Chain A
Amino acid sequence: EVQLVQSGVEVKKPGESLKISCKGSGYRFTSYWIGWVRQMPGKGLEWMGIIYPSDSDTRYSPSFQGQVTISADKSISTAYLQWSSLKASDTAMYYCARLSGSYLPRWFDPWGQGTLVTVAS
């Protein structure tokens, strides 16, 4: 079974750094792009960016370029999303998902269970 398991709930203060993870299993991790999606409280889905774990080729949405860093460690089949200095506006649920399809836009399937990040002083 293809599965993505994300790291747990995070509660941080403004200005702190954070790295959340997404571990893939049940498939060849290096053969599929992995993406990250933000959902702020009560709001819709936002496409943040994607990474190809085989060579770490990374693409960002213009809205998130420079705000977050997406990385991957193919030796442990894990993708990451990190912030160097959190803001209160980063409070959201963050989902990772595997991308499928041979051409744009690829679709997300399956999804991780989500990581809730709360940033508050």
Chain B
Amino acid sequence: QSVLTQPPSVSGAPGQRVTISCTGSSSNIGAGYDVHWYRQLPVTAPKLLIYGDNNRPSGVPDRFSGSKSGTSASLAITGLQAEDEADYYCQSYDSSLSSSVFGTGTKVTVL
């Protein structure tokens, strides 16, 4: 069981906006550690989507954005597209574990 909790699933129609939460505690996100986000398409390796809370690597469209407040972080996807159907994971560092951790993962479904 991860120390970073995400909703198991979120869904939206094409063109809509969806958000994925990543809830932690005072020993990880609440301690100020950065949050990164990854997208994993079916049967493929994960790919970096957002780093350092809200930075997009080259090639990632601006439809994807990250934010953080208190002990939680969020990933927002605007203009939802069929190709966004995938699993999404957050990552941060936990000082109690002295280790990086991934969130539990969220499956995004495009209706």
Contacts and interface: CB of A to CB of B under 8 A. Distances in A.
A62 B45 CA distance: 24
B16 interface: no
A110 B42 CA distance: 17
A109 B48 contact: yes
Which of under 10, 10 to 19, 20 to 34, or 35 or more describes the interface residues of B? 20 to 34
Contact of B36 (A44, A59, A61, A105): A105
Interface in B52-101: 52, 57, 87, 89, 91-93, 97-101
B45 A107 contact: no
A104 B105 CA distance: 21
B contact patch SS: strand
Interface in A86-121: 95, 100-101, 103-114
Contact of B52 (A44, A101, A110): A101
A112 B45 contact: yes
Contact of B48 (A59, A95, A104, A108): A108
Given A104-B93, A105-B93, A47 B46 contact: no
A9 interface: no
Of A37, A104, A107, the most chain B CB neighbours within 10 A belong to A107
Contact of A47 (B33, B48, B102): B102
Most buried by A among B2, B46, B51, B93: B46
Given A44-B2, A105-B34, A111 B52 contact: no
Contacts of B34: 101, 103-105, 107
Given A37-B102, A47-B99, A95-B46, 12 more contacts: A44-B102, A44-B104, A45-B89, A45-B105, A62-B97, A104-B100, A105-B34, A105-B36, A105-B91, A107-B36, A109-B48, A113-B45
Interface of A: 37, 44-47, 59-62, 95, 100-101, 103-114
